[in-house]
Amino acid sequence: MDADVSLDCAGLKCPMPVLRAAKALRGMQDGQVLEVMVTDKVAPKDFQTFCREGGHALLATEVLGDTPHGQLVRLRIRRGG
C-alpha cells in the first residue's frame, strides 16, 4: 500500500509525532493515506487514541527494526471525514 504523504518522526518524543501527523492530515483529502515513522515507544498507543478520536483509520502498525532511538515503527493512517 502506497502512502500519499510520508512523515519521518523518528527520534521525536510524545507529543510531537501526533502533533506533526495532525498537521499533515489537515492538509490532506479524505481517503488519503499518511505514513508516519516513529521510534517513541508510546507512539503506537497514542496514534490509536488519536485516530479513534479524530475519525481517522489506523490501517497498519509495522515494526521495522531497531535504531539508536529505539524500535522503528511505521504507521499508516487513512484520513477520515
What pLDDT score was predicted for residue 1? Answer: 67
Pick the CATH number of 5-78 from 3.40.50.1780, 3.30.110.40, 3.30.300.30, 3.30.40.10: 3.30.110.40
Q: What is the pLDDT of residues 12-32, one digit of tens each?
A: 999 999 999 999 999 999 999
pLDDT at 69: 85
51 is catalytic: no
Question: What are 67's strand-pairing partners?
Answer: 70
Residue of 3, 5, 10, 14 with catalytic role: 14
Q: For residues 34-49, give the mean pLDDT.
A: 96
Main-chain dihedrals φ then ψ at residue 29, nearest 5 degrees: -95, 155
pTM for the predicted model, two decimal places: 0.93
Long-range contacts of 61-68 (CB under 8 A, 24+ apart): 64/37, 67/10, 67/39
Question: Taking 70 as the threshold, does the pLDDT of residue 81 lie above it?
Answer: no
